[in-house]
C-alpha cells in the first residue's frame, strides 16, 4: 500500500531513497517542493528526473484534506472544515492579528478527554491523526489565506495533542526542519489538558515549544468537575511536571483559565490560583466563556466577575491577559464546527 510521503521525516526519506538507489539530496529537493512550495503532485516537481518521479508515484501518495466548508468571522478568523481521506471531519482555524497569522491545528478525530465545556469531547474519540494529516491542515490553510504566510502554529484544535504524542512530535520536527517549513519551535504552541507524563517527556525533546495548559480551576475538587483527566493527573503531579518543563526549556507556561459564571470566579478561586502558580514562570490567560451552545451547561461570566478576577491576579503579581474569544460568530469553542455538522447527521446524541 502506498504511504503518504508527508508521514516521513527528511532523514527517513533520505534513508528510503538510499535503499532504492536514489541520491539522498533528492529527498531534500522533494521536501522543498512539499513544504516550501506546497506542491501536491509528484509530476510537477520539475527538477527531479523521470525515474525518481516514477519511484515516488509507485511508493508514495499525497492525500490532502478536502475543504468542505470555510466560515469567515467578522474579525477575519476563518474556520476550515476539512474532510480526510477516510471521510472523517476535522477543523483548522486561521487567526490573523496585526503582523501575525496563527493557525490552530487538530491532532485527533474527536477526543477522549471529555472536558466539560468542550464540544470536541462530546464527539468521542475516533482516531489519532497521521503526521501527514496534521501537516496537511497546515498546508491546506496556507493555500487558502492571503500570501500563504503562517507565522505561528497552535495545536489547540480538535483532540488532545499529547495523546497523539509521536505523530505530534514528528509533525513539529518537520515544521521546524530548515528543509521543511522552517518554523521556529518558539512559534509553535502545544496545548494540553494536563497529561503530566507527556509533559515530562516533552521537556526532554530539546525543543523550546510554548506550552499552554488548560487549568480552569486551581483546586482538584473543581478542576476534576471540569476536566476528568485531573483525576488521573491531579495538580500534585501536574505542577511538578510543569515546573520541570519551564526549567528545561526556559519557556513561560501559559495557563488557560476559562471564566465560568459563578463556578470558578470567586475570591477563593483567585486565591487558590495565586498560591498554585507562585514561583513558576507563568502567565494566566483569562477567557470569558462564550456560550455558543447551551447544551454544554455553563454560562458566560458577568463583566464584574471578569474585572474582579483579573484585577485580583494583577494585584498579586500574576502576569495575566484577558483574551476575548475569536471567531465567536462562526462557532465558539474548538470542535463546534465539526459538532454542528455531525449533529445534522447524528440522531443518537
Residue of the chain from 14, 130, 133, 160 that contacts ligand SF4 (CB under 6 A): 160
Q: Nearest approach, Cβ of 12 to ligand SF4 (angstroms)?
A: 29
Nearer to ligand SF4, 8 or 242 (CB): 242
Catalytic residue status for 178 = no
- Catalytic one of 104, 115, 118, 334: 334
Q: Nearest approach, Cβ of 59 to ligand SF4 (angstroms)?
A: 34
Per CB under 6 A, contacts with ligand SF4 among 13-32 are none
Catalytic residue status for 91 = yes
- The beta strands (E) that lie in the chain are given as 3-4, 60-61, 66-72, 78-83, 89-97, 100-104, 108-109, 127-128, 152-155, 188-192, 210-214, 253-259, 282-288, 319-322
Given a contact cutoff of 8 angstroms between Cβ atoms, the answer to whether 79 and 71 are in contact is yes
Per-residue binding letters, 238-277, with ligand SF4 (x by CB under 6 A): ----------------------------------------
Report how far apart, in Å, the C-alpha atoms of 9 and of each of 5, 74, 121 are: 9, 38, 30
Q: Nearest approach, Cβ of 114 to ligand SF4 (angstroms)?
A: 6
Nearer to ligand SF4, 124 or 262 (CB): 124
Cell 495533542 found at: 161
Rounded-to-integer distance, Cα 284 and Cα 321, Å: 6
Nearer to ligand SF4, 88 or 144 (CB): 88
Per CB under 6 A, contacts with ligand SF4 among 65-124 are 111, 113-115, 118, 120-121
Cβ count within 10 A of residue 161 = 30
Cβ neighbors of 68 (< 8 A, separation 6 or more) are 81, 82, 83, 89, 341
Beta strands at 127-128 and 188-192: parallel, antiparallel or unpaired: unpaired
Q: Nearest approach, Cβ of 181 to ligand SF4 (angstroms)?
A: 24
Q: Nearest approach, Cβ of 89 to ligand SF4 (angstroms)?
A: 14
With residues binned 3-state (H G I as helix, E B as strand, rest as coil), the percentages for the chain, rounded to 5, are: 45, 20, 40
Q: Which stretch binds ligand SF4 (CB under 6 A): 21-29, 78-86, 155-163, 336-344?
A: 155-163
Given a contact cutoff of 8 angstroms between Cβ atoms, the answer to whether 56 and 5 are in contact is yes
Closest CA to 192 of 249, 133, 245, 129: 245
Neighbouring-strand partners of residue 304: none
Residues in the chain: 349
Per CB under 6 A, contacts with ligand SF4 among 166-195 are 193
Say how many CA atoms lie within 13 Å of 77 toward its Cβ: 20
Cβ count within 10 A of residue 312 = 18
- Return phi, psi of residue 48, to 5°: -100, 140
Nearer to ligand SF4, 160 or 269 (CB): 160
Nearer to ligand SF4, 65 or 159 (CB): 159
Q: Nearest approach, Cβ of 223 to ligand SF4 (angstroms)?
A: 12
- Catalytic one of 14, 91, 210, 256: 91
Q: Nearest approach, Cβ of 225 to ligand SF4 (angstroms)?
A: 13
Rounded-to-integer distance, Cα 288 and Cα 281, Å: 23
Per CB under 6 A, contacts with ligand SF4 among 213-232 are 214
Nearer to ligand SF4, 178 or 349 (CB): 349
Nearer to ligand SF4, 159 or 288 (CB): 159
Per CB under 6 A, contacts with ligand SF4 among 306-345 are 334
Active centre residues (catalytic): 91, 334
Query: What is the binding site for ligand SF4 (CB under 6 A)?
Result: 111, 113-115, 118, 120-121, 158-160, 193, 214, 334
Amino acid at each position: 500500500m502506498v504511504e503518504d510521503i508527508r508521514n516521513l521525516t527528511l532523514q527517513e526519506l533520505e534513508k528510503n531513497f538510499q535503499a532504492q538507489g536514489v541520491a539522498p539530496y533528492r529527498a531534500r529537493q522533494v521536501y522543498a517542493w512539499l513544504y516550501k512550495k506546497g506542491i501536491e503532485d509528484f509530476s510537477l516537481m520539475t527538477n527531479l528526473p523521470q525515474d525518481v518521479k516514477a519511484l515516488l508515484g509507485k511508493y508514495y501518495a499525497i492525500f490532502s484534506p478536502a475543504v468542505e466548508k470555510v466560515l469567515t468571522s467578522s474579525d477575519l478568523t476563518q474556520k476550515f472544515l476539512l474532510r480526510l481521506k477516510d471521510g472523517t471531519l476535522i477543523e483548522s482555524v486561521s487567526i490573523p492579528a496585526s503582523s501575525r497569522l496563527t493557525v490552530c491545528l487538530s491532532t485527533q478525530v474527536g477526543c477522549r478527554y471529555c472536558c466539560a465545556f468542550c464540544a470536541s469531547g462530546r464527539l468521542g474519540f475516533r482516531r489519532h491523526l497521521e503526521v501527514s494529516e496534521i501537516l496537511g491542515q497546515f498546508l491546506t490553510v496556507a493555500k487558502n489565506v492571503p500570501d500563504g504566510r503562517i507565522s505561528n502554529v497552535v495545536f489547540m484544535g480538535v483532540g488532545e495533542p499529547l495523546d497523539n504524542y509521536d505523530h505530534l512530535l514528528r509533525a513539529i520536527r518537520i515544521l521546524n526542519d530548515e528543509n521543511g517549513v522552517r518554523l521556529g519551535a518558539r512559534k509553535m504552541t502545544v496545548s494540553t489538558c494536563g497529561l503530566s507524563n507527556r509533559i515530562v517527556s516533552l521537556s526532554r525533546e530539546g525543543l523550546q515549544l510554548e506550552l499552554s495548559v488548560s487549568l480552569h480551576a486551581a483546586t482538584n475538587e473543581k478542576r476534576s468537575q471540569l476536566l476528568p483527566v485531573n483525576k488521573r493527573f491531579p495538580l500534585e503531579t501536574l505542577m511538578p511536571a510543569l515546573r520541570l518543563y519551564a526549567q528545561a526549556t526556559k519557556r513561560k507556561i501559559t495557563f488557560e483559565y476559562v471564566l465560568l459564571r459563578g463556578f470558578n470566579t470567586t475570591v477563593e478561586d483567585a486565591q487558590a490560583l495565586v498560591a498554585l502558580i507562585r514561583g513558576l514562570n507563568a502567565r494566566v490567560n483569562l477567557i470569558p466563556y462564550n456560550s455558543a451552545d447551551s447544551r454544554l451547561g455553563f454560562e458566560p461570566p458577568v463583566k464584574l466577575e471578569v474585572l474582579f478576577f483579573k484585577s485580583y491576579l494583577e494585584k498579586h503579581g500574576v502576569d495575566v491577559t484577558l483574551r476575548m474569544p475569536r471567531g465567536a460568530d462562526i462557532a465558539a469553542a474548538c470542535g463546534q464546527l465539526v459538532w454542528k455538522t455531525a449533529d445534522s447527521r447524528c440522531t443518537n446524541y
